[in-house]
């Protein structure tokens, strides 16, 4: 069975500082990995995904994530945080083959960027 | 967020009521999903319809009944709910490949229906 762990319920960072939101996963075989963001009173919005190729994936709003197969991680990063980045972030994994193709989501990490 | 719409946005119902949530996607996708979002919990997949066929039902209580009349519309019929069913119910859609190598498709979510069961 596949699973996703987001070990931090909340991440606090000052505006202008780099941010990292952590995600580790467990899946049989190689994964497809996703990050979604949820702003208050909104649904989830797609940020970026890893399919294959370069381990560093660039996405919307200046976010990027690095796929690390040996550590089974897919941490979300941004070099300089903005107050408007404050939101709930979800990591998701789908197996590349075999098993259910349905994604499994983590429980979300609340990012708070302080002015 | 005009790609996937959900109505109503907010719903308060008693435990003996019957209500329905509606989702509509304007993206031409062939798969639609219902998720339940509760605070501090992972997103819970409830139902999946792929090409209008229900392909997943994650042990959801029978008081939740999905309906997918066509590939653009998805309903969640609610009856005799419990207070613990209060949550944000999210609808999503995606364009699923028919190829064996699938799973890379992005999901597009609606804004959700905030449900309160009294």
pLDDT in tens, A98-107: 656 678 899 9
For chain A, percent of residues with pLDDT exceeding 70: 96
Any A CB within 8 A of B116 CB: no
Pure H helices in chain A: none
- The pLDDT score that the predictor gives to residue B50 is 82
* Cβ neighbours for B59, distance < 8 A, ≥ 6 positions apart: none
Using CB atoms and an 8 Å cut-off, which of residues 6-25 of chain B contact chain A?
6
Query: What is the SS3 assignment for B83?
Result: helix
Interface of A with B (CB under 8 A): 4, 9, 32, 34, 36, 41-46, 49, 51, 90, 94-97, 100-108
- The pLDDT score that the predictor gives to residue A87 is 97
Chain B contact set for A100 (CB, 8 A): 56
Asked if residue A93 lies in contact with residue A32, where contact means CB atoms within 8 angstroms, the answer is yes
Chain B contact set for A101 (CB, 8 A): 96, 102-103
Task: Determine if residue B51 is left, alpha or beta; phi over 0 gives left, psi from -120 to 50 gives alpha, anything else beta.
Answer: left
Please give the average per-residue pLDDT across B94-109, as a whole number: 75
Token couple for B92: 């999503």
- Whether residue B72 is predicted with pLDDT greater than 70 in this model: the reply is yes
- The pLDDT score that the predictor gives to residue B23 is 98
Give the range among A10-14, A60-64, A99-103 with minimum mean pLDDT: A99-103
User: What Å distances lie between residue B80 and A66, B7, B43, B66, B115, CA to CA?
Assistant: 45, 20, 23, 15, 13
Q: Max CA-CA distance within chain B?
A: 45
CB atoms within 10 A of CB B84: 8
Inspect the interface and report whether the beta carbons of B90 and A44 lie closer than 8 Å: yes
User: What Å distances lie between residue B11 and A29, A78, B39, B89, B114, CA to CA?
Assistant: 41, 37, 17, 11, 6
- Whether residue B61 is predicted with pLDDT greater than 60 in this model: the reply is yes
Chain A contact set for B29 (CB, 8 A): none
Q: Which residue of A has its CA nearest to B107?
A: A46
Q: Which residue of A has its CA nearest to B9?
A: A41
Chain B contact set for A107 (CB, 8 A): 40-43
Q: Which of A33, A34, A44 to mutate to test the interface with B (most CBs of B within 10 A)?
A: A44
């Amino acid at each position: 069975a596949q699973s996703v762990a987001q070990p931090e319920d909340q991440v606090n960072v000052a505006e202008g500082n780099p941010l990292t939101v952590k995600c580790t996963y467990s899946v049989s075989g190689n994964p497809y990995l996703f990050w979604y963001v949820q702003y208050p009173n909104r649904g989830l919005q797609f940020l970026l995904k890893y399919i294959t190729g370069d381990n560093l994936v660039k996405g919307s709003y200046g976010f990027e994530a690095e796929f690390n197969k040996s550590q089974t991680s897919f941490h979300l990063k941004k070099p300089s945080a903005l107050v408007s980045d404050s939101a709930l972030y979800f990591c998701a994994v789908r197996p590349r083959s075999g098993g259910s193709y349905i994604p499994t989501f983590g429980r979300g990490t609340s990012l708070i960027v302080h002015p | 967020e005009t790609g996937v719409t959900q109505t109503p946005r907010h719903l308060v119902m008693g435990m003996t009521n019957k209500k329905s949530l509606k989702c509509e996607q304007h993206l031409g996708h062939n798969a639609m999903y219902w998720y339940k979002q509760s605070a501090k919990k992972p997103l819970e997949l409830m139902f999946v319809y792929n090409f209008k066929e229900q392909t997943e039902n994650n042990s959801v209580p029978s008081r939740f009944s999905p309906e997918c009349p066509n590939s653009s519309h998805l309903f969640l019929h609610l009856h005799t709910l419990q207070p613990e069913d209060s949550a944000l119910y999210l609808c999503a859609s995606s364009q699923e490949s028919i190829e064996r190598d699938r799973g890379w498709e992005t999901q597009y979510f609606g804004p959700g229906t905030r449900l309160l069961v009294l």
